[in-house]
Amino acid sequence: MLPAFRSRFSVLGYCGLLAVLFCLPLVTSWIGHSSREQAYAGLSNDAGRIGQQTSAIFGKSPDADVLFLGSSMLKAGVDLPLIEQALSAHLGRPAHVEVLGMNWQGMDLQYFLLRDYLNTHQAGLIIWNPPVPGSRILEPHIMAYRWVRFGEYSDALSGLSLRYRVALYGDMVLGAPRELLSHIRPNLLGAKELKPEPRYLMSGYYGADFVPEPVDSTAPFPLEQSYEDPPYNFVYSKKKPLNSYQAHFAKKILQLAEEKHAGFALLHIPIDSEQGLNYMPELDNWASALHTDAPMIGVTSATLFKNVDRVRFYHYYKDQHFNVNGKMLFTRSIIPAILKAYDERDKHE
């Protein structure tokens, strides 16, 4: 078998190349990072249409009266124009509702998106939809190498174990070459990234034909079914505590909201596997895990679909995500709870 290296100089050259690569994050920090907008512009379109996020964060949009934070589950689950219309009527003035959410659930990405947004905007009420039980978010987000950079927001990583700090440094190494290139040739967003996501997702369950359901006449649910303060009687913890990485960024999200004096509420969106459940499964008991008195907004699947038979139940989903039927039904059901959370946001800062 041939040796891995032909000579001692080959070994030294290989080690030198590794040393250069491992030092690239320090080089990018020394040169100066490109803008945060450039960091996100390098994301793959598979992670979501980043153009909408950069427009919300770095554009000249008005401050959000209500800011939703979560993942693709959230984007498919709530109808912003409907909420904006109800909130405007409630306040007697034009209201603005915004959403920050990318594909692939991860509390780290959600924290960074929220931090960048609150650096340029204010939010009256932040409504956070935490990752669903069973989500694989035990390590840095799959696209972290695009938006985590050496020396930037280093306080956000303070307190993480060495294992995760090393993992994130590895992401910085992977992302450094593209960041260096962005100083010469900036990342540009194409038409696909800038195209707004469709408001109505007319897709059937896992490829089945889409079947429209009448949801326009759905009445909002009573507050006792859609809004509750701790200890969240309708919430069932999966009794699998957050690991240290999850818990770190979950607490950072809440801490950021407190620092910016924004109201805070939690949101549960029923997924397809919750059919018939009269409780809302969550990753943890958020009141104790995060030491918060934030209200929980949401409706159990059994309550939301109480007048829907087993066959028609699947007409409201694409997969785990709602389609337009589910989105409109769920949004209408929680509007009174959102308005109450907004009115009482000062209690939960």
Can you give the pLDDT at residue 81? 95
Picking from 64, 119, 51, the residue whose alpha carbon sits closest to that of residue 97 is: 64
pLDDT score at 348 = 58
Q: How far apart are CA 114 and CA 71, in angstroms?
A: 12
Backbone angles phi, psi at 158, to 5 degrees: -60, 130
Average pLDDT, the chain: 89
Least confident segment among 142-146, 213-217, 233-237: 213-217
Q: Is residue 136 predicted with pLDDT exceeding 70?
A: no
Q: What is the pLDDT of residues 107-118, one digit of tens each?
A: 899 999 999 999
Q: Is 154 or 45 the better-scoring residue by pLDDT?
A: 154
- What's the confidence (pLDDT) of residue 166? 93
3 state DSSP class of 117: helix
pTM above 0.85, yes or no: yes
Report domain extents, the chain: 13-198+205-348
In degrees, rounded to 5, the angle at the alpha carbon of residue 100 between the alpha carbons of residues 44 and 293 is: 140
pLDDT (tens digit per residue) in 279-304: 999 988 888 888 899 999 999 999 99
pLDDT attached to residue 16: 84
- pLDDT of 114 reads 96
- Give the tens place of pLDDT for each residue, 240-272: 778 889 899 999 999 999 999 999 999 999 999
Residue 193 has pLDDT above 80, yes or no: no
Using the predicted structure, report yes or no on whether residue 135 has a pLDDT greater than 90. no
Each residue's pLDDT tens digit, 21-39: 889 999 999 999 988 988 8
The 10 Å CB-count burial string (b at 16+, else e) for 89-126 is: ebeeeebbbbbbbbbbbbbbbbbbbbbbbbeebebbbb
pLDDT at residue number 202: 87
pLDDT for the residue 239 = 63
Give yes or no for residue 8 having a pLDDT over 90. no
Residues recorded for the chain? 349
